[in-house]
Chains A and B, each alone.
Chain A
Amino acid sequence: MNEYLPYLSELLSEALSGISFILPEIALVLTFLLVIVVDLFIPGKNSVNTSAIALTGIIISAYLNYQQSLSIEKGLSLFSGSIVLDRVAIGFKLIFAFVTVLFVVFIKGNTALKRHNKGLGDLYMLLPAVLLGLNLMAMASNLLMVYISIEMVSIASYLMVGYVSGEGKQTEASMKYALFGSACSAIMLYGMSLLYGFTGTISLSDGNIIAQLSHIAEPAIALAILLTLVGIGFKLSFVPLHFWSPDVYQGAPTPVTAFLSTAPKIAGFAILIRFLIPFYGYGAATGIQVFDFETTITVIAIATMILGNFAAIWQNNIKRMLAYSSIAHTGFALMAIVAIYQNGIRSLLFYFTVYAIMNMAAFMIADQVEQRTGEDDVRKYKGLGKFMKVEILCFVVILVSLTGLPPTGGFIAKLFIFTSAFEKYQASGSVWVLSLLVTGAITTVVSLFYYFKIPLNAYLREPDREYPVSSGLNFISYVILALTILIIVLGLFPSILA
């Protein structure tokens, strides 16, 4: 202990100087504590006070993030290099805050959760915590931080998936999720310990780790990296680590599914980017490829796109279909990861913003349909277009956007990804990248087929039962409408996001 004494003051002052840069996270910690206290003593009817506090805290944190985005120009390494604060991290953090706010709104509109005798208080309590984990994922820049932040999000996710578990399916889902998740993180930890053993450093940002790795035998590196990728892949649910997602998505409460398929997935991409950039950077600087990420990720991306899209064709449960669709979108976004070093990050951030909006909106509409008609089978959507006019119309726009057709944000997002991948192709001439592009194009057509099952049933087929004349609009309907309009506006004027 004594030999560390001279460094202690230095370490302390560094930690203290970092504090001012993590104000959004501090706000979340305080919110978390406050929510617990409030929920214990004055929760209000339907935990109304708890949700108000949680929402306020998240919005304050988002505002602080926004303030940071104005002042931070280039990346800052904080807390002895364990986290990095740069524009990319702030971009991701803003997306997470946005998704979490939508999640709160979504929970408020879901009667199944509301009626559960456990109440909503504990769920609201989880929100600042999970958002904290997500923010750390976006900023993590050493292996330890990567692991801690992923675990933080995972544990909160396990709790959310099992929140209303009682009947078989939900218990199965949460059990599957927890088991699969912990196995994956154990494997990842193993991979990370190998990396640490090979290199003697856990920092991803100083470039040392790659230089050290280049002395190690290739199969050993490949093993370590692949094991680490398993943990990240679990969060992204790319093939072959996707098995959990359809079951979990179907079994979990719909708001939780919407959240899980959006925020942690995007955070997984943030981690992947942080993990890859040093490798790409080293490769570009020295010409030495420590590990062939390009081919590995290309193969994963192609497999994920094909499996996600083709499996979705056979689904009739709306939540399972959207689960496979989100797997397919993972594959598509991986296309930009391949080209990340050629500045794919901007296009990726745009893609995720749009994806977050359309995915949340799609699940919200599916949930509204389920609440009002009790149906989660697409085949039972017959004639719904006349009953829930506004919601289904919005659903069509959202599905068009998910397919990636103009004039929606989904099209621009798709165009950006294609653009960065094409640039990569032009620079490298790699057949892999070309096949990635072609797969992306073909699966787009495939995706139309299953997405359009919904308008097919809702509009083209006659209802097989009596609906009341028309259902009115509730609060969630207006949120859905706003998100839909946002998607169209982003499709026509993407510049507003930049």
Chain B
Amino acid sequence: MSLLSLLIFLPIVAGILILLLPSAWQQRYKYVALGAVLLQMLISAYIYINFDNTLSGIADQSTFQLVERIPWIRLNLGALGNLEIDYFLGIDGLSMPFLVLTSLVMLVALLASWDIQKNLKGYFALFLLLDCAVMGVFSALDFFLFYIFYELMLLPLYFLIGMWGGVRREYAAIKFFLYTLLGSVFMLLVIIGLYFSVTDPETGGHTFNMLHMMNPANYAQDSIFSVIAGQEIFGVSARLLAFIVLFVAFAIKVPIVPLHTWLPDAHVEAPTPVSIILAGVLLKIGGYGILRVCLSIFPDAAIQSAWWLGLIGVASILYGALNALAQRDLKRLIAYSSISHMGFVLLGIASATSEGISGAMMQMISHGFLSSMLFFLVGVIYERVHNREIPNFRGLALIMPRYTVFVMIAFFASLGLPGFSAFIAEAFSLIGAFNSQSINGLLPRWMAVAGSVGILLGASYLLWTLQRMFFGETRLWGGDEWKAKLTDVNGREVFALTSLALMSLALGILPSLAFDKMNASVLELIQLMNIR
């Protein structure tokens, strides 16, 4: 059993343990979960340290690391050929950073779940199931396996939002589920199409192996997604259509404007730890999927649609930021700022330059840390007074000084203050978008300019919020009762917030910590895209 399998199935084992423990021990469930997540953290740190920077991965199994490939399902389907599904795991520079990110965010989310009171057995079991699914998505290299983990995420999330969420939790939970399922069902059709188009060069049978799908030589001559055959569906090239379907499936997760409307509902109604996981990890699955699947398997269609991808990115940046300006609910504001920040990811990816894609990767990691921090901070207030309307608070700096310091760090880091990771990430994405016109002519320069306006808007909504809620004389809607409840952050909260802030700071000062690990893979991906 390799490290990756351990990373994926450790939470499941802990989850089953929790299910088996008697209810009388329910106060100890969180320690079991904490143990599993801490162990996961150590394993992913070990993976990070021992990661070989020179191996590129992307389309070649021999340059992947920690590869594990076991035949899983072999089924003779008569004329349909043999169904070949492998339990195929492996990591490269695109996936490894997310394993580290996931384990840290899960740790923080677990710390934020410390005060959950209701139905602890169910909560921690679902939490760990979600953890397993996320790790699986980032490690799977077989499309079938990837899809199973991808869908497996939905169920625990539905219940986590629906059972422990806020007032409109039923609506938010089912909306989230339906949106994602709509994308993924069509993704399934494309997966089947790819399965029929691609043959394994070793065995000659059809395969779900993603790496084989990236090599045009493996496509059967007359198959539907063959580059040479150039089949059309309703007058649109089949490959372009498949790219669009896959892109939409992942873009719903990212999310992009106009497929974003599930996000404010889900983030706002979810309990704090689930908001942290949603913003910190799950949005990144969208971005990761676009890189791993859309760009790598359909590079020709990606180049063809780059302009639109860039446009969607810019629209998300501006629309998200403008919406954030208009929010009264602090959690909603942060949810919209997520949409805006994830727009940079799309803009960077669309540029198809090494700066752009590195920037996009960096933005995902950076946003993972910062949005977790922001949602954690909202959770701190909400837990104390069960209210998070911005106008209801004023002058919090006077009664919660340490808390205010963390808020300031998180806000300034998010708006792109140099020294923090978001600055590097946004700068690289914009450089990529700006250079694109001269390097490959995919994106016009005005997109980069429009993107930088988004940073300006980001600064205005974050600073304005800071001013409204934290500065001035202390005036609270709940009066003295609230004042008594609003105690400053405690040790557990300081630990979680500090670790996130330090990660962001570390990546801001030494971006090479992440860039070095992913560089080979990013270059390989760009080469793959430019071959055709």
Contacts and interface: CB of A to CB of B under 8 A. Distances in A.
B partners with A: yes
Interface of A: 342-343, 345-347, 400, 405-407, 411, 415-416, 418-420, 422-423, 426, 434, 437-438, 441-442, 444-445, 448-449, 452, 455-456, 459-461, 493-495, 498
Given A445-B178, A445-B181, A449-B174, A346 B189 contact: no
B76 to A, nearest CB: 7
Interface in B65-120: 73-80
B449 interface: no
Nearest to A416: B77
A424 to B, nearest CB: 10
Given A411-B151, A459-B159, A460-B173, 14 more contacts: A343-B77, A347-B77, A347-B80, A405-B154, A405-B155, A419-B196, A420-B80, A438-B189, A444-B185, A445-B182, A448-B178, A459-B162, A461-B170, A498-B76
A407 B192 contact: no
A166 B515 CA distance: 76
Lowest 4 A-B CB distances belong to which pairs? A343-B78, A343-B79, A406-B148, A460-B162
Interface string B113-147: 00000000000000000000000000000000001
Given A405-B155, A452-B174, A456-B174, A418 B188 contact: yes
A310 to B, nearest CB: 15
B186 interface: yes
Contacts of B224: 426
A456 B178 contact: no
Contacts of A406: 147-148, 151-152
Contacts of B80: 342-343, 347, 419-420, 423
Interface of B: 73-80, 147-148, 151-152, 154-155, 158-159, 162-163, 169-170, 173-174, 177-178, 181-182, 185-186, 188-189, 192-193, 195-196, 223-224, 233
Contacts of A346: 77-78
A423 B79 CA distance: 10
A437 B173 CA distance: 27
Contacts of B185: 441-442, 444-445
Given A419-B80, A422-B196, A498 B75 contact: yes
Contacts of B178: 445, 448-449
Contacts of A498: 75-76
A418 B189 contact: yes
B154 A426 contact: no
Nearest to B220: A426
The DSSP consensus for interface residues of chain B is helix
Nearest to B165: A460
A415 B75 contact: no
A349 to B, nearest CB: 11
- Residue in B76, B78, B155, B192 whose Cβ sees the most chain A Cβ within 10 Å: B192
A343 B80 CA distance: 7
B151 to A, nearest CB: 5
Contacts of B169: 460
A449 B175 CA distance: 10
A441 B177 CA distance: 15
A423 B83 CA distance: 13
Nearest to B232: A429
Nearest to B170: A460
A422 B197 CA distance: 11
A460 B161 CA distance: 9
Given A441-B185, A445-B181, A494 B73 contact: yes
A407 B152 CA distance: 7
Contacts of A405: 151, 154-155, 181
A448 B169 CA distance: 17
